[in-house]
Amino acid sequence: MTILLRLVIVAGLLGLGAALSGGAVARDATMPRDVLLRIAEAGDIANRAESRAATRDLERRAVATRLSASVISALALYPRQAGVILRTAMGTSPRHRDYIAEKVAAVFPGYSQLAWREANSTATLIPKNPLLMRVATVQTEPVLSNASPAMEPPKSHEEFGISAVVLGFGGHDVGAFGHRKESGRDFNAEIRLTPFDGWLWDFILSPEPHIGAHYNSDGNTSQVFVGGTWMFDLGWDIFAGGSLGFALHDGETDTDKLDRKELGLPVLFRESAELGYSFTDNHAISLHLDHISNASITENNEGLDTFGLRYTYRL
């Protein structure tokens, strides 16, 4: 198949996923300002209570619980606004940044990295009037007149676009789930996108859509693939994840060659598993194993496994 036909198939699969999920949007749906106002008020109260030495422990726990409950509730209702929600809570209650991040990570593991990044960010400014500044976010409603025009809120991390770029290399046809036949090394490149919007994508835990390719150095089976990636923060900067999707390859479907795999169909199912370490907010390395096969739809189903090292740059 030509490169153009491959690109058309990949674009079609992504379009189908977007349509089923309710459509990908370039801008988040408007979130009512009173949601952020309630978070800001709860954060302001919690911050003032924590700053007073005379505040009783019971009151400290009560206001902290109210703050975390307002944040978690907002994240559940408006997941695409996670960056603004967390920034509002942590901006109005800087004394509770770690507490908020811990609670969010426990309830929504997918937002763990974002929560800790906001908690540890030195770029998050705390103006003289944080309550008014934090609710003056990018909404369709006019901003509050008390907000400084020089302080434009940062772009939400959850807006649709590229979220990460992945590069890697490794062994080809390593035989993890079958006999090894093909030789060479695979060079891997992948682009991940922020999750689509829609009830279906939320139902399947909001994976990051991805498009990628494996190129074999010996002219054996190469592939382009598309699917969704789930990542989970395990703590201590260690993460694990996996993906599901489809791969379009240029290998053999039926052959008598002893050094080539019989893959049965030109389009195969693809699964992967990954374990890695994030050494900064933007940079990570990981071990990655993926497998393509036709799930025994045809008699020829030898499958192909790739194992290697990958570098991820997260935008």
User: Which of 43-57, 93-107, 127-141, 148-162 has the highest mean predicted lDDT (pLDDT)?
Assistant: 93-107
**Average pLDDT estimate for 295-302:** 91
How far apart (Å, rounded) are the C-alpha atoms in residues 239 and 194?
Answer: 18
Residue 56 has pLDDT above 90, yes or no: no
How far apart (Å, rounded) are the C-alpha atoms in residues 22 and 67?
Answer: 31
Whether pTM > 0.85 for this model: the answer is no
Between residues 96 and 312, which one has the greater pLDDT? Answer: 312
DSSP the chain: --HHHHHHHHHHHHHHHHHHTT---SSPPPPPHHHHHHHHHHHHHHHHHHH-TT--HHHHHHHHHHHHHHHHHHHHH-GGGHHHHHHHHHHH-GGGHHHHHHHHHHH-GGGHHHHHHHHH-SS----SSHHHHHH--S-SSPPPTTS-TT-PPPPPTTSSSEEEEEEEEEEES--TTS-----SEEEEEEEEEPPPPSHHHHHTT-PEEEEEEEEETTSS--EEEEEEEEEEEEETTEEEEEEEEEEEE-SBSS---TTS-B-SSSEEEEEEEEEEEESSSSEEEEEEEEEEE-TTSSS----EEEEEEEEEEE-
Q: Are 61 and 189 in contact (CB under 8 A)?
A: no
Provide CATH 2.40.160.20 ranges for the chain.
3-23+160-314
CATH number belonging to domain 3-23+160-314: 2.40.160.20
**Average pLDDT estimate for 74-100:** 84
**Average pLDDT estimate for 58-87:** 83
Residue 15 has pLDDT above 70, yes or no: no
Residue 276 has pLDDT above 70, yes or no: yes
Neighbours of 315 (CB within 10 A): 11
Residue position matching structure tokens 């695409």: 80
CA neighbours closer than 13 Å in the CB half-sphere of residue 192 = 22
Handedness of CA 41, 46, 49, 51 (dihedral sign): negative
DSSP 252-266: BSS---TTS-B-SSS
Beta bridge partner(s), residue 227: 210, 245
Q: Model confidence at 158, in pLDDT bands (50, 70, 90)?
A: very low
- Average pLDDT along the chain: 78
**Average pLDDT estimate for 194-204:** 78
Residue 157 has pLDDT above 70, yes or no: no
Between residues 154 and 122, which one has the greater pLDDT? Answer: 122
pLDDT of residue 227: 95
Residue 80 has pLDDT above 70, yes or no: yes
Give me Rg for the CA atoms of the chain. 23
**Average pLDDT estimate for 219-241:** 90
Range with the poorest average pLDDT among 77-81, 114-118, 169-173: 77-81
pLDDT per position as a tens digit, 95-126: 888 888 888 888 888 888 888 888 887 544 44
pLDDT of residue 12: 55
Q: Model confidence at 70, in pLDDT bands (50, 70, 90)?
A: confident
Give the percent of the chain with pLDDT over 70: 78
**Average pLDDT estimate for 29-35:** 71
CA–centroid distance for 155 within its chain: 16
Residue position matching structure tokens 């935008």: 315
